[in-house]
Chains A and B, each alone.
Chain A
């Protein structure tokens, strides 16, 4: 059981980290609470299924196709739906909820409501320090680590990253310094949804794929992001691992734990909001709390 907790927590935690960073970025830069974030993750899993199982393309090609097409789709959605209503905070919220519902219903219509299985990219089980771990889970870990490193490089070592962090820090001042905040927002949307799509593609063979698979991770990502601090990259990673392990412990140790794992993660979120609303690594702005 101890090994199970160790592996499950790490794998789920890294998938949550991919989702949470994107969610946190888009909130920081554009102040959009993107309810459709995990719906893009769900879409990526379905696109992978279509390319891999229905059209019989290769694993790598299908994965890349799924990530690229979901990212492009997100940009189209942003331009057509979110940007026209950016001035109205409530309207943005509803627009993202409506988008998520539309994706869910489209997936339901096209692929049906049943659980779909996707073959693993690499079959078989690896033996690490006497613990049997399926290769696919190790792959998730590798992908997550690589992508996290890449996004760290992008955010902290490039001019675009500087612009994104500056906009997240203070939108008006960034705009005054001559940054095109709309284009920064577009780039952030692409990066954020791209990360979600990568998460969707890599976990699809391990988790079940169904049209409602976006709701549970959405709730978890919210608690991760709040725990780590909204807008903080480091916080999202640490928060994701903490929540991943807490969920794994709840499921394996408590009776009826599978029902309680969401409740436990959310209780952590509520406690963090009450005790330290800026989260573990977030910066506190008095007027934004």
Chain B
């Protein structure tokens, strides 16, 4: 079995078994938050990594899900699960609007425009404090499960569904078309792909996934505040994505699983508590300097080799490709060599 698949399986087992092995409430709380943010990071990667729509305001969808489900629960007494679903629907609708507005924008212009949307929404929420709770946000939500372990499993289960769901999307024909749109939209259009439809679809899917994460976050924290919409959160998800490796889905997820517990753990020391954002930023900077493509592509290059003939991944220790038998360690760029 491929090393990366072994690692993925080990990770799923670890996520499922965690409450059994370590039933500590603090660990479970951090782990649940990690799971929620992992789903959020995966949704950003689908939009930014695959489709190339580098969204600088992804917190908009997270916040829309959080505020949507929280306000529906509190003001209209929706049951929690229905509130989560409706919050995700609201986020999807907002995603479609943003996608429609951004159809003609590209690159930095798209990033700047998307950066603006959550800030406009924050301004509106602050201007109507009676409805939105203003700067303090709204509190008093019921959590989705009654026990601590139950809450963890809700977050972990949702995360696994979101991550493997986006991964399946990204690995399908749909993902291939997204790659094409990112690399050359004109060429994609010339090949008969309705790029408008696909861009709208990826905005909707990504927003829905982020909205679910946001709604789960609101119910886990029992409230929603302006922090769910802030630029800091948008930047955070960009950092996770690039740190882990773009257009991989598993990259940003791993980045969240490395960075979020790390910052929380550093924050638990009183000496480091105030330094944790600083350490976080320095770690991100150092990793980028040595692995500019991100953490996971770098690791994958170390443990796996790509067959030069059939493009299949192979464990690094194999001499010949497991699928086609071609030699794996042929000198690159030199004259043709026969081996294996």
B172 beta carbon closer than 8 Å to chain A: no
Contact B108 A27 (CB under 8 A): yes
In the complex, chain A residues whose CB is within 8 Å of the CB of B116: 219, 222-223, 266-267, 269-270
B115 beta carbon closer than 8 Å to chain A: yes
Which one of B25-33, B191-199, B286-294 is at the interface?
B286-294
| B252 → chain A closest CB, angstroms | 12
| A102 → chain B closest CB, angstroms | 5
- A84-95 interface mask toward B, CB cutoff 8 Å, 1 = contact, 0 = none? 110110110111
The secondary-structure label for the interface of chain A is helix
The secondary-structure label for the interface of chain B is helix
In the complex, chain A residues whose CB is within 8 Å of the CB of B122: 262-263
Question: In this complex, which of B124, B235, B282, B288 has the most chain A Cβ atoms within 10 angstroms of its Cβ?
Answer: B288
Bound-complex Cα distance A95 to B208 (A) = 29
Within 8 A of B (CB), among A96-120: 97-99, 101-102, 104-106, 108-109
Given A27-B108, A97-B238, A277-B104, decide whether A88 and B292 contact each other with a Cβ distance below 8 A. Answer: yes
| B182 → chain A closest CB, angstroms | 12
Contact B112 A84 (CB under 8 A): no
Contact B127 A256 (CB under 8 A): yes
B131 beta carbon closer than 8 Å to chain A: no
Bound-complex Cα distance A84 to B291 (A) = 11
Q: Give chain B's interface residues, CB within 8 Å of chain A.
A: 54, 101, 104-109, 111-113, 115-117, 119-120, 122-124, 126-127, 231, 235, 238-239, 242-243, 246, 274-275, 277-278, 280-282, 284-285, 288-289, 292-293
Further contacts, 15 of them, CB under 8 A, given A219-B115, A259-B127: A88-B292, A94-B238, A98-B281, A101-B278, A101-B281, A105-B277, A105-B278, A222-B112, A259-B126, A263-B119, A263-B123, A263-B127, A266-B119, A266-B120, A269-B113
A-B contact pairs, 27 of them (CB 8 A): A90-B246, A91-B242, A93-B54, A93-B242, A94-B238, A94-B284, A98-B284, A102-B285, A104-B277, A108-B274, A219-B116, A223-B116, A230-B109, A256-B127, A259-B123, A262-B119, A262-B120, A262-B123, A263-B120, A264-B123, A269-B112, A273-B105, A273-B112, A274-B101, A274-B104, A289-B104, A289-B106
